[in-house]
Amino acid sequence: MLQLMFAVAFSAVPLTLYIPPIRSFNLFVGTLQLFLRDYTLFSVRTFPRIRLALSRIFNSILHITW
């Protein structure tokens, strides 16, 4: 069991080289926050317009078929 634990521990050590340090996440997190803020502003304005357009299209289709 001890050999298995050492094998797993030493095989996971190279994976830590692929994970950047926490201090480099600040720029990434800041960029992600700006993107999400812009996306929410866009979606708040756009989704009601798309819903209104689709409802008008479907209403016109329903009026033609009935």
Write out pLDDT tens, residues 9-20. 777 666 666 666
Q: Residue 52: what pLDDT?
A: 93
pLDDT tens, position by position, for the chain (66 residues)?
778 777 777 776 666 666 666 666 788 788 888 898 888 888 888 888 899 999 999 998 888 866
Could you list the residue range(s) of the whole structural domain that residue 7 is in? 2-65
Q: Residue 10: what pLDDT?
A: 74
Q: Residue 2: what pLDDT?
A: 79
CA distances for 5 relative to 9, 10, 15, 31, 43, angstroms: 6, 9, 16, 39, 49
Terminal-to-terminal C-alpha distance of the chain: 74
Q: How many domains does the chain have?
A: 1
Q: Residue 22: what pLDDT?
A: 63
Burial letters 1-37, b for 16+ CB under 10 A, else e: eeeeeeeeeeeeeeeeeeeeeeeeeeeeeeeeeeeee
AA identity, residue 58: F
